Chains A and B, each alone.
Chain A
Amino acid sequence: DSGVTQTPKHLITATGQRVTLRCSPRSGDLSVYWYQQSLDQGLQFLIQYYNGEERAKGNILERFSAQQFPDLHSELNLSSLELGDSALYFCASSEAGINEQYFGPGTRLTVT
């Protein structure tokens, strides 16, 4: 158990819908990262937050957004969902200045 929690574990929804994925980092970790894992794109970095502020953006679609709250949990919002958004979404956290990122169990999103 990495100490990073993600909910829900599985999510099935229809095209055009909006969903919110939630992540709680390890205790004391200020950085949260979101990654998407799909069969065709592999593991890709989406976005990073540090202590409530956005720090870096990767291959994140405009339909996707995220935020980190004062209690350091983070949410990834996916809207106008398409079939191609079906993937495993990971949240990872790290302690400031420390290299290792610890991953949560992931949320498997299926868009039908």
Chain B
Amino acid sequence: AQKITQTQPGMFVQEKEAVTLDCTYDTSDPSYGLFWYKQPSSGEMIFLIYQGSYDQQNATEGRYSLNFQKARKSANLVISASQLGDSAMYFCAMREGRGSGGSNYKLTFGKGTLLTVNP
């Protein structure tokens, strides 16, 4: 079974509007973390936002917020006031387990959603 599912291969949004990118995850570990990364056409992976499984509040970073619904195992990314520069591939990822020091924090990624912002 896939651990991270992104069901939207592509999304379109008008500039200045908000958009939600879906992500569902599958884990039996009570301790985990959820991440969103942005990959523009230039190829680099840019960290956007993080949500821990024990965090009570939804994470926010500027125009990015993470709609965390633990019971539904979903961690949707909301981008407010879309800009042309937001056009990119967006990846949801999960880290399972809680370690200490240099314990394994490997990330499992979804297949991504290609977001296109139209002027």
Contact = CB atoms under 8 A, between A and B. Distances in A.
A pairs with B: yes
Nearest to B37: A103
A99 B45 contact: no
A51 interface: yes
Contact of A99 (B43, B50, B110): B50
A22 interface: no
B105 interface: yes
Nearest to B49: A100
A99 B106 contact: no
Interface string A3-39: 0000000000000000000000000001101010000
A56 to B, nearest CB: 4
Contacts of A104: 44
A97 interface: yes
Interface in B72-117: 91, 93, 95, 100-112
B95 A99 contact: yes
A21 B29 CA distance: 34
A50 B103 CA distance: 8
B43 A105 contact: yes
Given A42-B112, A43-B91, A90-B45, A101 B107 contact: yes
Please give me the 7 A-B residue pairs with the lowest Cβ-Cβ distance, nearest first. A50-B102, A103-B45, A56-B104, A43-B109, A45-B106, A96-B101, A105-B44
28 contacts: A2-B47, A31-B102, A35-B107, A42-B111, A43-B91, A44-B109, A45-B108, A48-B104, A48-B106, A50-B102, A51-B102, A53-B102, A55-B103, A56-B106, A58-B106, A88-B43, A92-B45, A96-B102, A99-B50, A99-B52, A99-B105, A100-B35, A100-B47, A101-B105, A103-B37, A103-B44, A103-B45, A106-B43
Interface of B: 33, 35, 37, 43-47, 50, 52, 91, 93, 95, 100-112
